[in-house]
Structure 1
């Protein structure tokens, strides 16, 4: 099996995605549910040993062109080039179910995997938006009961004409169409820039 590069933090993720240009790609964030409890029950050394075993399982689960790396103590990411959202969801759902059925018996009950997936061009154009949407999908998987894979679904933003002047709504719609993005995506991006300033 070919060695896979380690992807730590968002900057290498963004760089890896930018190397792919505008090619279709799916990104997933995979999190170990209730890892804190695992560490408390088994001790840090035993928990780390279980994570190394999980990493071996992850490295054999995905296609050879996938990029896999650890993002945090209990979180992993995978970039799946030329992979549709449906195929990525199937892969991640298989992983979650396989882990639940065949995991090392030292894993305590209730510890599972959750995953969030986003794809380009279906969900985002930029690398930053793709990573954000994968994270949103992971949070949804956690909210919906953990131990599952969720595909990003855009929030349907309803714009009320009494909150925004018609001229602004028309300009927003025109710009979204010109950029091939949703109005909600443009508003979230503008709000993020405002909050960071």
Structure 2
């Protein structure tokens, strides 16, 4: 389900224009006309993004932004501030107050929606990391992460060496971060075992849409630079390019001729966010590894999975969102152990675990529940989305060749039971029981397929197979210990 956006503005026309554009993109929109009401709604309700004007009758917009960012309850709420005049002084004031993004009221719909998507995507990622860290600390496996304030490393990659030198000169005296010039090929040669920049400033280039966007895509796909902050510098009147850059993964945009002070502010914000997320990732990884990670597969274990599912169900109830749970079993796994030995069985378990992880989103949970059983949790998933994900897993595992120590190969299939959770139907034990019952149906009806647990809210027709989704084409021989 799309995020919930709160528009605070005392001018009804502004609220109506924004609501029409956002509602057309399937966002849920709430409105208010005062700072007091905006603050109250942000604290009491689950808001994913707030859009503020320069001023409200009872408070200046920048002052409200400062209040929201200083309140622990609303500090993580992304704020998009709209400006009457898109001048440098107004932009700097809004960014200094804590606004995550600023735009003029004379925006294009393309740019507005691209920025909304980018802010919501970043918010979801941050929230998921905080949620996993909180789960670990509640279970006693991690400590509060320390706050670090050391300077970061920034790489400037201009369309020409002269452009990058100009950026560096402009930042002199405005930034405490280490600033260096870097070429495109040098950026793509960075490896995970060497220090990488915390942030990149990239020019989109002047040879078509491309050099900058291609490099942005490359940096986002590589382990060494995947989590770096990336700021793109674009030309004027480049709405489609801006939208493409944000959708590919740019964290922020600046137009050529920008005020160096704005770049310095944005670098501070993005590097701080990147560092916070790095700390959360490291905290979760180190704090949970021994107590909640299955040593064979590297997946979370049953203890962590149950706790995470409980939090997911609470969030669904609070936000009125649905989620999905998949119960997965390797077909005829006992035959693998009997035929090839238990060491081969361990190899198969690890390979299936990797196959599941590789074909799911980063926010999805994969846990080993014991033996050859796995559980997958899909946050904010609809039934059609969950079914497509389950069928994809079924196909990919069936097509996965698994090398054995003796030089041979083995292929296995999996059966999946899918159950949908929602605000009205999210009790974890009952949900797992329904997914498990659907898994047994998948086993009894032929294996290597997905069966969907019936619910009162099931809106997708199950078809002649009554909720089971058999895969087309010939199947490999099944190898499972689970009874049909």
State the TM-score, normalized to the length of structure 1: 0.68
Unaligned stretches of 5+ residues in structure 2: 1-222, 224-280, 286-297, 404-408, 457-484
Q: Which residue number corresponds to residue 114 of structure 1?
A: 415
Q: Which residue number corresponds to residue 15 of structure 1?
A: 310
Matches of residues 58-77 of structure 1 in structure 2 within 5 Å?
58-77=356-375
SS in 2 for 1:41: helix
Relative contact order higher in (CA < 8 Å, ≥ 6 apart): 1
Q: Which residue number corresponds to residue 446 of structure 2?
A: 145
Q: Which residue number corresponds to residue 103 of structure 1?
A: 401
In the alignment, the residues of structure 2 paired with residue 119 and residue 95 of structure 1 have an alpha-carbon distance, to the nearest angstrom, of: 17
Asked if 2 retains the 8 angstrom alpha-carbon contact of 1:123 and 1:133, the reply is no
Unaligned stretches of 5+ residues in structure 1: 156-197
In the alignment, the residues of structure 1 paired with residue 424 and residue 440 of structure 2 have an alpha-carbon distance, to the nearest angstrom, of: 16
Q: Which residue number corresponds to residue 54 of structure 1?
A: 352
Asked if 1 retains the 8 angstrom alpha-carbon contact of 2:299 and 2:367, the reply is yes
Q: Which residue number corresponds to residue 73 of structure 2?
A: none
State the TM-score, normalized to the length of structure 2: 0.29
Deviation at 1:55, TM superposition (A): 1.0
In the alignment, the residues of structure 1 paired with residue 329 and residue 370 of structure 2 have an alpha-carbon distance, to the nearest angstrom, of: 9
In the alignment, the residues of structure 2 paired with residue 56 and residue 112 of structure 1 have an alpha-carbon distance, to the nearest angstrom, of: 14
Q: Which residue number corresponds to residue 37 of structure 1?
A: 335
In the alignment, the residues of structure 1 paired with residue 423 and residue 415 of structure 2 have an alpha-carbon distance, to the nearest angstrom, of: 21
The answer to whether residue 328 in structure 2 is matched with residue 26 in structure 1 is no
SS in 1 for 2:410: coil
Describe the superposition over 1:40-61 as per-residue Cα deviations: whole angstroms up to 9, x where unpaired.
1110011101211111111111
Alpha carbons of 1:51 and 1:70: their partners in 2 closer, same or farther (altered >3 Å)? same
In the alignment, the residues of structure 1 paired with residue 439 and residue 451 of structure 2 have an alpha-carbon distance, to the nearest angstrom, of: 7
Alpha carbons of 1:123 and 1:74: their partners in 2 closer, same or farther (altered >3 Å)? farther
Q: Which runs of 4+ in 1 moved over 4 A?
A: 1-5
Describe the superposition over 1:150-170 as per-residue Cα deviations: whole angstroms up to 9, x where unpaired.
111259xxxxxxxxxxxxxxx
SS in 2 for 1:63: coil
Deviation at 1:132, TM superposition (A): 1.1
Deviation at 1:103, TM superposition (A): 3.1
In the alignment, the residues of structure 2 paired with residue 19 and residue 51 of structure 1 have an alpha-carbon distance, to the nearest angstrom, of: 31
- Matched length: 153
User: Which protein is richer in helix relative to its size?
Assistant: 1
